Amino acid sequence: MSISVLSLYRRVTRWPAGHWIFSRLVCLKAPYFATIAPRFMVLEPGRCEVRIRDRRRVHNHIGTVHAIALCNLAELSAGVMTDATIPADMRWIPRGMTVEYLKKAVGTLHGVATPATALTDAGDGQDWPVAVQVTDAAGETVFRACVTMWVSPRKRA
């Protein structure tokens, strides 16, 4: 039996540098997300907060945070929030994402993922929208996304 992402977060983040360690562990499991060097700040059922620092490697040609780096932040925070929220006998996969670029994204950015609707009895499966809002250091929203997760029962062995 594997440990849940929420249990791992609760255990590891009690240690010194625990948020950094947890963030690295997530990136070991899903290596592409390491490209944005995320730092998980909060994880609880129904909420995930992730921070990314303003670094050259996430910049576009005009010196702001690249659109795809923002999409990576949205997918990462939505996915980990979903994993921490749904019952253990369910599984998920992103099915789609709509995004809004509201203003230039500069500086350290803070993404917050929360369910857009309540999860109902999935039966054979259901779309579950997850809202992600990304704010800058001044607290202004620079990006919004809705990540549609397909949530369904785990296959029985």
Report the mean per-residue pLDDT for the chain: 94
Q: How far apart are CA 131 and CA 144, in angstroms?
A: 8
Q: Supply 109's token pair.
A: 């950015």
pLDDT of residue 44: 97
pLDDT of residue 11: 96
pLDDT of residue 120: 83
Closest residue by Cα to residue 72 from 38, 25, 106, 117: 38
The answer to whether the beta carbons of residues 53 and 37 sit under 8 Å apart is yes
Q: How far apart are CA 33 and CA 138, in angstroms?
A: 25
Owner of token pair 């789609």 = 96
Which of the residues in the chain have pLDDT under 70?
1-2, 122, 157
Q: Collapse the DSSP code of 131 into the 3-class scheme (helix H, G, I; strand E, B; otherwise coil) and give the result.
A: strand
- pTM, two decimal places: 0.93
Owner of token pair 């803070």 = 110
pLDDT of residue 154: 87
Owner of token pair 């499991």 = 29
pLDDT of residue 119: 85
pLDDT of residue 1: 40
